Structure 1
Amino acid sequence: MRAAVLEAFNQPLVVKQVADPELTPDGVILKLVASGVCRSDLHAIHGKMCMVQNFPHILGHEMSGVVEQVGSNIRNFKKGDRVIVPFTQGDGVCPHCLSGHNNVCDNSQMVGMHFNGGYAEYIHIPNADLNLLHLPENVDFLSAAAMGCRFMTAFHGTVAQGNVRPGEWVAVYGTGGVGLSAIQIAAAAGANVIAVDIADDKLAFAKEMGAVATVNSKEENAPQAIKELTKGGAHLSIDALGIQETCLNSIMSLRKRGRHVQIGLSSNPNGGMTPIPVNLVLGHELQLIGSAGMPIPEFPAMLNMVSQGKVAPGKLITKHIALDDINAAFDEMVSYGGVGVTVITKF
């Protein structure tokens, strides 16, 4: 099969022929139809995701496709089934999996990080009965790929962790894939969303996704602007980027008893060590909440909303590319160019 292969950190991916994946008794092999290009893979290319330890390696964790082969122990899937792949995979037996939180499994495996991923024609999913989901017939493969990491991560962070409510003010820092997803989801929940970024074209696209107001943080003080717009601050603020400035500004944008959700992964050293205003957190009774991926039990609600047209992850997609163009897509990410989500549709 053809795949885009990481052969060393800080090097372009190499598109070449590699061996097809091997089927295990508890696994499923998928023929991929669409695979999203995510900034997390850019972190991995730069050696900032320690899960990638062996080379050569195939990245990619946002995907949808069709079941090609099933292992002898598989009960929930058959050849020809349309599926979506959650990027966090649990073992099904640890205390967190058993309580419905496989996204923080003690033995968590990330697709494309711990094992070969979706920048290829085919992928093998281990423990597939636990870690694979049927795709509703009226949800297309492109929308499923758009949900593959950024949208599902935003859904969990906004709905479950952020507990977004109708009528609330929600600030979203960063209008990449995760931020745009959070904007669309919060708007669908009836919240008033303010998008924050430094690029006017991205802010314009954020309005198309449901933002009622935008703030260009290159031109004005974002926390101050948000407090003026909301007459006191956001009820919920989401850092969808992960840099020190957006994390701090998100916290500073909150009203008293507000909620900050950290979705964006930090590249700061020592596990993302970031100074925060502890006295403000204490005095205003702010909540700082982490959010990682999305547990399997939350998927039916998200897929149902997509199926009914209440949210539309497919609208985030602005570019279809071939596997051969993947390095150009990452180059665009490095410069923070482009708008929306890029998906590989030609392998």
Structure 2
Amino acid sequence: MKAAVLHGPRDLRLETVPTPRLPSVGEVILRVEYAAVCGTDVHAYRGSIPTKTPVILGHEYAGRVLQVGKGVRGFKAGDRVVGSYVATCGTCRYCVLGKPQLCERRILFGLNYDGAFAQYMKVPRADRTLVKVPDDMDLRTAVLIPDMFLTALYAVERGGVGPGSSVLVIGLGSVGLSIVAAARLAGARKIIGVVRRARPRPIEFAKRMGVTHLINTGEEKDPIGGIRALTGGLGVDVAFEASGAPSAVRLALDSLRPCGVHVQVGIVGEPSPLDLRYLTSLEKTLIGVLNPGSTIYIERAIDVVRAHGLDLEGLVTHEFPLSDIGEALEAVERKVGDPVKVVVKTT
């Protein structure tokens, strides 16, 4: 089969590798139909996060079950499925506590285990990793839910957004835009989007998803003042930082009202010194979130998308064949073609 294999920083090769066969106990073989490109894939490609190479990149996937190993109870050949980015043990302290994303024996697709930028994929611990896709949902939409949308839904939940909340979202990429949508569903009254550059497509999508006010830090001389002016001089209730830029982390904290909550979603790729004085004197809260990764959460996210008719597929601006995986990563990394969400058709 064809697969995109990462051999080291910026050394990604489209290779012919053995097709997975004969699944072991608890495993499933998938024929991957769609894989989405995530910022984490770019970090792995750059070498800025720990990655066990050589490894097939990719952790956002949707496809059909091809073969089922012994002990798998929930799936059969032909089932349409999506899956988590992480396969968990189910028995360690964090799995028992309901935090499977922190599993002590976690398998991370595309980082320490072969992932989804391939024609076929072996999924271990399948009953704790895969979820069936409803008949009325296409796989191109479904592939966006377990990672992109669930990250947003969980972040909004952790931030405590509710009816009447004022919200700041820094970084209007696919996850940031999903946070906007989830915050709107949670009842946020005011949603302020922050961008560094006025890229037309994300701004258009931001308004469509529910942003009520937009601040461009590349043009606004006093963004903090602008945010406070929109919130009666107080600051926002909840700030979501989804870009990973160290300067944006500081902006998010400074934009909060007293007792406000900062939710860090973006991966910060370099040390980020913070002035923490106002965490105590103004009782601000700083929370880091990681996609919960559990099948229960994925099922819930699918239900939310269906119940509210969310047009997640509308965020897909680029689709590439697997043979052009390098171009797909470049589009995300360098913003070539003004992308929002990029997917790869693997078959």
Q: TM-score, normalised by structure 1?
A: 0.93
**Matching of residue 132 in structure 1 with residue 133 in structure 2:** no
* 1:169 alignment partner in structure 2: 166
Q: CA deviation at 1:68?
A: 0.6
Q: Assess if the C-alpha contact under 8 Å between 1:62 and 1:118 holds in 2.
A: yes
* Aligned pairs (5 A) from 1:159-238: 159=157, 161-191=158-188, 192-200=190-198, 201=200, 202-220=202-220, 221-231=222-232, 232-238=234-240
Moved more, 34-43 or 293-302: 293-302
Deviations 1:221-245 (A, max 9, x none): 3322211112221111001111101
Aligned to 1:129, what secondary structure does the other structure show? helix
Cα distance, 1:253 vs structure 2: 0.9
Tell me how far apart the structure 1 counterparts of residues 68 and 75 of structure 2 sit (CA, whole Å).
7
User: How many correspondences in the alignment?
Assistant: 339
Code of the aligned partner of 1:225: G
Instruction: Letter of the 1:318 partner, please give it.
Output: T
Q: Is the 8 A contact 1:136 1:307 kept in 2?
A: no
Inter-partner Cα distance in structure 1 for 2:139 and 2:67: 19
Secondary structure of 1:230's aligned partner: coil
For residues 141 and 304 of structure 1, what CA distance do their matches in structure 2 show? 15
Counterpart check, 1:40 vs 2:40:
yes
Judge conservation of contact 1:146–1:317 (CA < 8 Å) in 2. no
1:17 maps to: 16
1:85 maps to 83
Say whether residues 1:334 and 2:333 are aligned partners: yes
Q: Which residue of 2 is the match for residue 113 of structure 1?
A: 111
- Give per-residue Cα distances to partners, 1:41-63, cap 9 Å, x unaligned: 1110111121x2232x2100111
Q: Which residue of 2 aligns with 1:141?
A: 139
Cα RMSD of the aligned pairs, angstroms, is: 1.5
In 2, Cα distance between equivalents of 1:183 and 1:330: 24
Unaligned runs of 5+ in 1: none
Give secondary structure in 2 for the equivalent of 1:149. helix
1:277-303 CA-partner distances (Å, limit 9, x unpaired): 211111111110010012423223211
% identity of equivalent residues: 31
The answer as to whether partners of 1:181 and 1:316 remain within 8 angstroms in 2 is no
How far does residue 71 in structure 1 lie from its aligned partner after superposition?
Answer: 0.4
1:155 to 150, 153, 156: 153
- What is the one-letter code of the residue matched to 1:171? L
2-structure distance, mates of 1:101, 1:138 = 30
Aligned residue for 1:318?
317
**Matched residue, 1:308:** 307
Distance 2:105 2:173 in 1: 29
* Inter-CA distance 2–295: structure 2 relative to 1 (3 Å threshold): closer
8 Å CA contact 2:150–2:297 kept in 1: the answer is no
Shift of 1:306: 1.2
SS in 2 for 1:158: helix
Question: How much has 1:335 moved relative to structure 2?
Answer: 2.4
In structure 2, give the amino acid aligned to 1:279: R
Contact 1:83 1:135 in 2 (8 A): yes
Q: Which runs of 5+ in 2 are unaligned?
A: none
Write the deviation string for residues 308-341 of structure 1: whole angstroms up to 9, x where unpaired: 2343322221122111222122223332342310
